[in-house]
Amino acid sequence: MATLTGLTFGGKAWTPKFLEAIDLARCIGCGRCLKTCGRGVMALRGLNEEGEFVDDEEDDEIERKVMTIANAANCIGCEACSRVCPKNCQTHSELALIG
Protein backbone atom coordinates (compact mmCIF):
# COMPACT_ATOMS: atom_id res chain seq x y z
CA MET A 1 0.00 0.00 0.00
CA ALA A 2 1.31 3.44 -0.90
CA THR A 3 1.80 6.26 1.62
CA LEU A 4 1.51 10.00 1.27
CA THR A 5 4.90 11.56 0.53
CA GLY A 6 6.16 15.00 -0.41
CA LEU A 7 9.30 16.99 -1.02
CA THR A 8 11.03 19.41 1.33
CA PHE A 9 12.19 22.83 0.10
CA GLY A 10 15.60 21.22 -0.38
CA GLY A 11 14.13 18.57 -2.67
CA LYS A 12 14.43 15.64 -0.27
CA ALA A 13 11.61 13.09 0.01
CA TRP A 14 9.54 13.45 3.17
CA THR A 15 6.78 11.26 4.59
CA PRO A 16 4.52 13.13 7.01
CA LYS A 17 3.45 11.32 10.18
CA PHE A 18 0.13 12.46 11.56
CA LEU A 19 -0.88 12.63 15.22
CA GLU A 20 -2.74 9.43 16.04
CA ALA A 21 -2.92 9.30 19.84
CA ILE A 22 -1.75 10.92 23.08
CA ASP A 23 -0.92 8.72 26.07
CA LEU A 24 -2.85 10.41 28.89
CA ALA A 25 -0.99 8.42 31.55
CA ARG A 26 2.33 9.92 30.42
CA CYS A 27 1.14 13.45 29.59
CA ILE A 28 1.95 16.05 32.26
CA GLY A 29 -0.17 18.80 30.68
CA CYS A 30 2.75 21.20 30.24
CA GLY A 31 1.28 22.63 27.01
CA ARG A 32 4.53 22.67 25.02
CA CYS A 33 2.96 20.74 22.16
CA LEU A 34 -0.08 23.01 22.15
CA LYS A 35 2.12 26.11 21.91
CA THR A 36 4.22 24.58 19.13
CA CYS A 37 1.29 23.52 16.96
CA GLY A 38 -0.35 26.47 15.26
CA ARG A 39 -3.08 24.36 13.68
CA GLY A 40 -5.41 23.76 16.65
CA VAL A 41 -4.93 19.99 16.59
CA MET A 42 -4.79 19.59 20.39
CA ALA A 43 -6.62 20.94 23.43
CA LEU A 44 -5.80 20.94 27.15
CA ARG A 45 -8.56 19.25 29.17
CA GLY A 46 -9.09 18.59 32.85
CA LEU A 47 -9.36 15.16 34.47
CA ASN A 48 -11.00 14.42 37.81
CA GLU A 49 -9.79 11.89 40.41
CA GLU A 50 -11.58 9.05 38.55
CA GLY A 51 -9.81 9.90 35.29
CA GLU A 52 -12.92 11.33 33.63
CA PHE A 53 -12.86 14.52 31.58
CA VAL A 54 -14.45 17.56 33.24
CA ASP A 55 -15.26 21.03 31.94
CA ASP A 56 -13.02 23.93 32.90
CA GLU A 57 -15.99 25.54 34.66
CA GLU A 58 -15.78 22.73 37.24
CA ASP A 59 -12.31 23.86 38.39
CA ASP A 60 -12.72 22.39 41.87
CA GLU A 61 -13.10 18.88 40.39
CA ILE A 62 -9.97 19.01 38.20
CA GLU A 63 -7.21 16.77 39.52
CA ARG A 64 -4.82 17.42 36.61
CA LYS A 65 -4.84 18.57 32.99
CA VAL A 66 -3.77 16.55 29.97
CA MET A 67 -3.49 17.16 26.24
CA THR A 68 -6.12 15.63 23.96
CA ILE A 69 -6.65 15.52 20.20
CA ALA A 70 -9.29 18.12 19.35
CA ASN A 71 -9.05 18.43 15.54
CA ALA A 72 -7.07 15.54 14.06
CA ALA A 73 -7.91 16.62 10.51
CA ASN A 74 -5.88 19.83 11.03
CA CYS A 75 -2.62 17.90 11.57
CA ILE A 76 -0.10 18.38 8.74
CA GLY A 77 2.22 15.58 9.89
CA CYS A 78 5.23 17.72 10.86
CA GLU A 79 5.71 16.02 14.28
CA ALA A 80 6.73 19.31 15.91
CA CYS A 81 4.60 18.38 18.93
CA SER A 82 6.66 15.24 19.48
CA ARG A 83 9.95 17.06 19.29
CA VAL A 84 9.05 19.41 22.17
CA CYS A 85 7.28 16.87 24.42
CA PRO A 86 9.37 16.03 27.51
CA LYS A 87 7.43 12.77 28.06
CA ASN A 88 7.23 11.57 24.43
CA CYS A 89 3.53 10.76 24.80
CA GLN A 90 2.36 11.34 21.21
CA THR A 91 1.98 8.55 18.66
CA HIS A 92 2.18 9.38 14.95
CA SER A 93 1.52 7.32 11.85
CA GLU A 94 1.88 7.62 8.11
CA LEU A 95 -1.23 8.16 6.04
CA ALA A 96 -1.91 5.11 3.89
CA LEU A 97 -3.35 5.89 0.47
CA ILE A 98 -6.08 3.59 -0.80
CA GLY A 99 -6.05 2.59 -4.43
- List helix spans (H) across the chain: 32-36, 80-84
Residues of the domain holding 85: 21-91
Indicate whether 79 belongs to any domain: yes
Indicate whether 39 belongs to any domain: yes
The rounded Cα 78 to chain-centroid distance in angstroms is 11
Indicate whether 51 belongs to any domain: yes
Q: Which of 62, 82, 85 is nearest to 19 (CA)?
A: 82
Number of domains in the chain: 1
Query: Domain with 75 in it: what CATH number?
Result: 3.30.70.20
Q: What is the pTM of this model?
A: 0.84
- Contact (Cβ atoms closer than 8 angstroms) between residue 47 and residue 63: yes
User: pLDDT tens digits, residue range 14-59?
Assistant: 999 999 999 999 999 999 999 999 999 999 999 998 889 998 776 7
Indicate whether 63 belongs to any domain: yes
What CA–CA distance (Å, rounded) separates 55 from 61? 9
What CA–CA distance (Å, rounded) separates 6 from 74? 17
Indicate whether 50 belongs to any domain: yes
